[in-house]
Amino acid sequence: MKRGSKLALFAAFIAFTTFSCSSDENSGNGTGGGVDTGKTKYIITATTGAVGIADYLLTADDVTTGTVSTIGNGIEQDGTYRYYITAENNFFSLLYGQGNPGAVTTYNLTAEGKLQKKSDFQAETVHVFAAVNKDILTVKVPRSGAASIAQMYKIDATKSLITGEAQQDTKILAGNGERAFFTWATQVGDKVFMPYMSIKGDGLDNFGTANPDSTWVAVYNYPELKLEKVIKDNRTSYLGAYFTNGLFQDENGDAYGFSGAIATSNTVMTSTKPSAVVKIKKGTTEFDKSYFFNVQEKSGGYKISSTTYISKGKFLLLMYGNVGKNNGAVKMAIADVYNQTFTWVTNTPETLTSVTSRYNITTEDGNSAIIGVNTPEGSWIYTVNGTTAVATRGMKVEGGQITAIQKLKY
């Protein structure tokens, strides 16, 4: 990945919070490499920080206790940056190809629970990847220069094959002299909702905008990926962030959108609206004007960095540590979007270097989130209860910082 000024935003995000991506709700009940025994194996990815080396893939039967190490263990990934998604009981490792096509490696489990490589194929370097039906939808989004066409690809999650594609002109989609940059994609019912931010994309201020106080969600049918409409609001800012999901569907079919309200112009934050949660009711393609959860007010002035859905309206929030800003050591909280309550997570380390974000997995009972916590003293896997907001320390990971936690059945 080029470490130039045009990726300053990405570099800053990595410094604040690591990446993890799993679609547990859509992971299916495939058999891995053998008969489904009903057992679960956790996959922990950890990086040593070595130049040119990505993560090690480690496995464990239980993440609530014990120790696992990268030293002499695991499967080493190639390349500098890798991103992960689980779909149809397959684990996908995507290489960020610095703008060029990158390898996508698929893994599953044998009948004995051993992680094995299933296939390798080449795909475009993308900025969005999400499980939709039995596919993985990926999107490559241009952010500067003359190029304005976003490329969308459908990957069959069972066969690990690209089965279709579509295009979207991001300048036409924005319709305001800027360009749309998709933050993520979420399956909502039988459609795909894709929140985006409006960006200048002028090379000097790529991610800056003259429209910091608006929210947009593009609605596409599936599998055709034809644009149906754009849902708009102006009570907060864009949903999610670069490489960060900000829209989730609950068990009732309603969708909740999370905004950090951190839009900038020339790196100066210009959002005037609060960091908040908005709602789209099941079966509709409009924001619910009667619903507005002002998280910034409830938290005492803090802004949302990223979000993980637990269940029953409970979300684990990673909050920027400095009041009213988009920086500062990460802080964790539980938000109940049904009752609009906000509770800081307790029993955590005093200083959090980073916490795995984006689609952290949940416990089997659906009551807690399982996350990776990196501190100056070491790295551990924690379980955060969505009702009590209490964190419990589990397995220690040695020899690297945790970047993702997944699980597969075998």
Q: What is the pLDDT of residue 52?
A: 58
Q: What is the pLDDT of residue 175?
A: 96
6-9 LR contacts (CB < 8 Å, sep 24+) = 6/143, 6/144, 6/203, 6/206, 8/267, 9/206, 9/207, 9/242
Strand segments (E) across 67-178: 67-69, 75-78, 82-87, 90-95, 102-109, 115-123, 128-132, 135-140, 149-156, 161-169
Burial of 185 (0-12, 13-18, 19+ CB in 10 A): buried
Q: What is the pLDDT of residue 38?
A: 81
Peptide bond into 142 cis (omega under 30): no
Low-confidence ranges of the chain (pLDDT < 70): 1-37, 51-53, 80, 97-100, 358-359
Task: Determine the structural domain holding residue 135 and report its residue range.
Answer: 5-409
Q: Which residue has the tokens 């094959």?
A: 161
Q: What is the pLDDT of residue 395?
A: 98
Q: pTM of the entire structure?
A: 0.90
Q: Rounded distance, CA 27 to CA 41, Å?
A: 13
Burial of 217 (0-12, 13-18, 19+ CB in 10 A): buried
What residue type is assigned to position 25 of the chain? E
Contacts of 170 (CB under 8 A, 6+ apart): 141, 142, 148, 149, 150, 179, 180, 181, 196
Count: domains in the chain: 1
**The Cα angle at residue 344 between residues 340 and 347, in degrees rounded to 5:** 145
Q: Rounded distance, CA 360 to CA 67, Å?
A: 20
Could you tell me the CATH number of the domain that includes residue 61? 2.130.10.10
Query: Which string of DSSP letters, residue by residue, matches 190-243?
Result: TEEEEEEEEE--SSSSTTB-S-TT-EEEEEEETTT--EEEEEEE-SS--SBBTT
